[in-house]
Structure 1
Amino acid sequence: MSMNRRKALKTTGGFGVLGMFVAAGVITPQEARAQQAEWNKAAFEAKDVNGTVKALGGDAAAASDKVTVTGPDIAENGAVVPVGATTTLANVQMIALLVEKNPNALAAMFNLTADSEPFVTTRVKMGQSSDVYALVKADGKFHVAKKEIKVTLGGCGG
């Protein structure tokens, strides 16, 4: 069956990438809806690290020297700041990146499998200079580290 672009977009409209998997027959529509339901809205709406930890089901995050935040000391353009996190902790289940002074602190969250290397990297938008936190869930406990990143040109039109 030949599917043109317009038909593919109509078929996958509300699902994005998951819709492409549905259209290709890789997953069922029920599985796609279940994966979308797993999105934790409260965590992404939290304003700080403690609020994010509570939204993710934890009590508090302990500062850890086994978690490292990577990123530039000075970012010339806050619209695309490369940040990442790595850890030497065992049994890592999740790594999240938070930007303290952004309207919503949680910028990215990565669920990892036991076979994954505990290292993530992405680009985030920063409106101003801020601390960037790496929040790691390992063995059911939360660990955190931070790094200050200075922004010379704000990513939110500043």
Structure 2
Amino acid sequence: MNRRTLLRAGAAGTLLIAMRSLAANVVVSPILGELARAYAGPGAALREGRVKFDITPLVENGNSVPVEVTVDSPMTTAQHVTGIAIFNEKNPQNDVAVFELTPLCGRARVATRIRLATSQQLIAVAKMNDGSCWTHTVEVIVTTASCVEE
């Protein structure tokens, strides 16, 4: 291993640690908070947890970004996810996708591809049949923007 390879590996490791620490301390933007509360409905409390938002934190091209949302739920008649919504902060349209689920789905998992205009926050909100709502917020850095209006 030469010196350059060692320096590159060290820089990559430092960047990864910094990105993970940022992801752990994400403060939800006011726009996303308002969208999530509107989706959850009046009086519903939003709680962090049970939702796993899987998206690459550093996106090279915002034209087609793979996204997966998984919710920790047994998906039985007594306890299941009724809906999953994905919202973004800075695209021209903030509502990315809304999915409706039933116990017949078997798993509380959705996957799609989205466009991202620029670096921004995204939030996934899961509605449960008992009325509770769970969220997960991530920050994504986009190096080549999409959805740019000229």
Measured against the shorter chain, the TM-score band is 0.5 to 0.7
1:115 offset after TM fit, Å? 1.9
Match of 2:98 among 109, 112, 120: 109
- Structure 1 Cα separation of the partners of residues 34 and 44 of structure 2: 6
Q: Aligned residue for 1:127?
A: 117
- Structure 2 Cα separation of the partners of residues 60 and 77 of structure 1: 36
- Structure 2 Cα separation of the partners of residues 132 and 55 of structure 1: 14
Q: Aligned residue for 2:81?
A: 92
Match of 1:136 among 87, 106, 126: 126
Alignment root-mean-square deviation, CA: 2.0
Cα 1:61–1:108, aligned 2, differ >3 Å: closer, same or farther?
Answer: farther
Q: Where do 5+ consecutive residues of structure 1 fail to align? A: 1-46
Cα 1:79–1:91, aligned 2, differ >3 Å: closer, same or farther?
Answer: same
Aligned length, in residue pairs: 112
1:131 offset after TM fit, Å? 1.2
Cα 1:60–1:85, aligned 2, differ >3 Å: closer, same or farther?
Answer: same
TM-score scaled to structure 2, two decimals? 0.66
Match of 2:146 among 134, 141, 155: 155
**Correspondence list, 1:8-157, <5 A:** 48-55=32-39, 57-89=41-73, 90-116=79-105, 117-138=107-128, 139-157=130-148
1:55 offset after TM fit, Å? 5.0
> Larger RCO: Structure 1 or Structure 2 (Cα < 8 Å, ≥ 6 residues apart)?
2
- Structure 1 Cα separation of the partners of residues 60 and 52 of structure 2: 22
SS at match of 1:54: helix
- In structure 2, give the amino acid aligned to 1:83: V
1:130 offset after TM fit, Å? 0.9
Aligned residues with identical type, % of pairs: 30
Q: Aligned residue for 1:7?
A: none
Report if the CA contact (8 A) 1:133-1:144 is conserved. Answer: yes
Q: Where do 5+ consecutive residues of structure 2 fail to align? A: 1-30, 74-78
TM-score scaled to structure 1, two decimals? 0.63
